[in-house]
Each structure stands twice: as C-alpha cells, then as structure tokens.
C-alpha cells in the first residue's frame, strides 16, 4: 500500500497541474499521517489524564490512562490474563469454525436447491430477527458454565452472517460464467469448485471480518453473563469489586487481540483474492 501511495504521489508530481498541486499540498504522506495519528492519541489520552488529575472527571468512573496501562502491564507481566485469554480464544475459534462451516454449507446448499431456500427462508428470517443476546441465558442452562455455552452463543452470531453472505454470493454469480463453464463440460461438482466457491469468496471474506469480531463478542458476552474463566469473566470480576481500571484493562487487551486477528484475516484475504483488481484511486 505504501509503495502504491508513493507511486501515486510521483505521478501527481509529474502531472503538476494547478489542481494537482493544490491537492498534493493538503494530502499528507503516509508517514506524516501516522505521526499525526500518534499526536492525536497523545492529545486525547493527555487530556483525559489531565482532566482526571485536575478533578474535572471522577477517577472512579474514568481511571487514569496511566493507571490503566499499569494494570494492563500487571495483567500481562504476571501472566494473569493469559489463561483467561486462552479460554476466550478457544471459545471464539470454536464458535467461528463451527458457525462458519455450518453457514457455508447451508448457504451453498440453499443457493443451489431452490426448493429448500423457499422452504426454510421464513424460519431463517425468524431466527435472524431474534436478538441473539437473549439466547445466552438459555444456553447457560443447556450447556453449563463451561466453554460450550459460549461456543453455542458465538455460533448463533457467526452462522447467520456467513450463511446470508454465502447465499447471496452464490446466487449473484454471473450467469455467463456458469453457462460458459457448463458449455466447457463442467459437472455440478466442478461448477462448485471453479465457479461458485471462488465467486462467493469475496462475499464470504467481507463477512469474515464481521464474523470473527462476532465470535469474540459472543465469547466475551457469554463469559460476562456467567462463566468460571475468560476475559469476559475477568472483566465481570473487576466490575464486581468496582475496579474500573480492571474493566478498562480488559477492554484494551481485547481490542489489541481483535486488531491482531483482523490483520491476519486481511493478509489471508489479500492472498486468496489476489486476482481481484486493486480498488485504489
């Protein structure tokens, strides 16, 4: 991306027309943009820190950023957070894998079998309309306080996103591509492999970012409502003793973890969708 941007700058320098020059002056280089973003972060955190220290904001509700980072550091350096994080990740990964697999499978089947799609459509709409959080208590009763109630909860979140995107992705495949592959002798299985799956991948990937986030949300919310371990549980514990620093520290750690996972998904997406024209400019 950086390379591309600098190339674009070179081009605009070469074109050097009046409008271009004006645009170039307002457009920062990526490095300068990073610097500005860093400054913004410092400014916001600094303002927060100062207003708490000055007593404008109550420290009980908004603990000092420096204290939050201290707590984060304590949780990380003592290793306290890692078992919790590991449990949460296990739940999220299981929920994601099972949910995505089921969503993909049902999405492909329903997209190819018109009868089933028409039959199941109202039921799927009904379940999708249900606010998923209300399922958490019943899952706790069914599956207990262990990881499986969270997996089930995350599953209901991931499944529908992947399912609807797969269904849409397969159905929106260009008619000509299908006809052409059939004329070239494709069997139903080959159609799936060469045409439908790659075509649906773009849709599935756009849903992947959301569904990965949802898998983690499902795990954490589930833990928060009742668990014996996990980051959500740690946050609930901190809240139980009015330790807002602990709550913020848990949020911060989760944020970083999700960012890292999203970065990995991006990498995978770029690799698998490398045939796509880059949507720059």
Partner 1 sequence: MPGGETYFAVRDINLKVEPGRFVSIVGPTGSGKSTILNMAAGLLNPSSGEVTSFGEPVNGVNRRASYMFQQDPLLPWKTVIDNVSLGLTMAGASKAEAHAEARRWLEKVGLKNFADRYPHQLSGGMRKRTAIAQAWIVNPDVLLMDEPFSALDVQTRQIMENELLQLWQESGKAVVFITHDLDEAIALSDEVVILGAGPGSTVVGSYEIDIPRPRDLLDIRDDPQFVALHREIWGRLKVEVSKTYETAMAEEGEVA
CA angle 218, 224, 230 (to 5 degrees): 80
Question: Could you tell me the smallest distance in angstroms from the CB atom of residue 158 to partner 1?
Answer: 25
Rg (CA), the chain: 24
Burial class (CB in 10 A: 0-12, 13-18, 19+), 23: exposed
From candidates 61, 115, 242, 275, binder to partner 1 by CB under 8 A: 275
From candidates 29, 51, 172, 180, binder to partner 1 by CB under 8 A: 180
Question: Could you tell me the smallest distance in angstroms from the CB atom of residue 198 to partner 1?
Answer: 4
DSSP secondary structure letters along 141-157:
HHH-SSHHHHHHHHHHH
Question: Could you tell me the smallest distance in angstroms from the CB atom of residue 11 to partner 1?
Answer: 19
192 Cβ partners below 8 Å, 6+ apart? 108, 112
Distance CA(11)–CA(5), nearest Å, equals 10
- Closer residue to partner 1 in complex, CB, 27/179: 179
190 binds partner 1 (CB under 8 A): yes
- Closer residue to partner 1 in complex, CB, 65/198: 198
187 binds partner 1 (CB under 8 A): yes
In degrees and rounded to multiples of 5, residue 213 shows phi and psi of -60, -40
Question: Per-residue x/- mask for partner 1, residues 195 to 234, rule CB under 8 A?
Answer: x--xx-x---------------------------------
From the list 8-16, 34-42, 136-144, 273-281, the region that binds partner 1 by CB under 8 A is 273-281
276 binds partner 1 (CB under 8 A): yes
24 binds partner 1 (CB under 8 A): no
- Closer residue to partner 1 in complex, CB, 20/171: 171
Encoded tokens for 211 = 């569904």
114 binds partner 1 (CB under 8 A): no
Distance CA(201)–CA(207), nearest Å, equals 10
Beta carbons within 10 angstroms of residue 81's beta carbon: 22
From candidates 20, 24, 171, 182, binder to partner 1 by CB under 8 A: 182
User: Is-contact 71 249, C-beta < 8 A?
Assistant: yes
From candidates 181, 210, 251, 258, binder to partner 1 by CB under 8 A: 181
174 binds partner 1 (CB under 8 A): yes
Distance CA(234)–CA(220), nearest Å, equals 10
- Closer residue to partner 1 in complex, CB, 168/243: 168
Q: How far apart are the two ends of the chain, measured CA to CA in Å?
A: 12
CA angle 96, 132, 102 (to 5 degrees): 35
Question: Could you tell me the smallest distance in angstroms from the CB atom of residue 173 to partner 1?
Answer: 10
From candidates 54, 184, 241, 259, binder to partner 1 by CB under 8 A: 184
**What is the contact surface with partner 1 in residues (CB under 8 A)?**
174, 176-177, 179-187, 190, 194-195, 198-199, 201, 273, 275-277
């Amino acid at each position: 991306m950086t390379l591309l941007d600098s190339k674009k700058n070179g081009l605009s320098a070469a074109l050097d027309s009046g409008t271009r020059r004006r645009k170039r002056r307002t457009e920062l280089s990526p490095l300068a943009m990073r610097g500005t973003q860093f400054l913004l972060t410092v400014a916001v955190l600094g303002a927060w820190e100062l207003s708490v220290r000055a007593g404008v904001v109550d420290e009980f509700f908004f603990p000092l950023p420096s204290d939050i980072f201290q707590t984060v550091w304590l949780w990380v350096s003592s290793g306290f957070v890692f078992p919790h994080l590991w449990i949460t990740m296990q739940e999220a990964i299981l929920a994601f894998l099972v949910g995505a697999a089921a969503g993909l499978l049902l999405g492909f089947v329903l997209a190819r079998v018109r009868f089933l799609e028409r039959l199941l459509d109202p039921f799927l709409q009904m379940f999708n309309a249900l606010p998923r959080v209300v399922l958490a208590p019943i899952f706790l009763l069914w599956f207990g306080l262990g990881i499986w109630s969270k997996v089930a909860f995350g599953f209901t979140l991931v499944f529908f996103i992947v399912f609807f995107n797969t269904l849409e992705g397969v159905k929106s495949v260009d008619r000509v591509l299908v006809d052409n592959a059939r004329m070239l002798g494709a069997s139903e299985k080959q159609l799936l492999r060469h045409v439908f799956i790659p075509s649906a991948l773009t849709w599935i990937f756009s849903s992947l970012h959301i569904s990965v986030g949802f898998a983690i949300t499902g795990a954490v919310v589930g833990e928060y409502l009742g668990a014996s371990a996990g980051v959500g549980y740690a946050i609930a514990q901190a809240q139980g003793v009015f330790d807002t620093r602990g709550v913020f520290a848990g949020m911060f750690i989760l944020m970083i973890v999700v960012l890292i996972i999203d970065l990995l998904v991006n990498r995978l997406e770029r690799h698998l969708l490398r045939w796509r024209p880059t949507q720059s400019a």
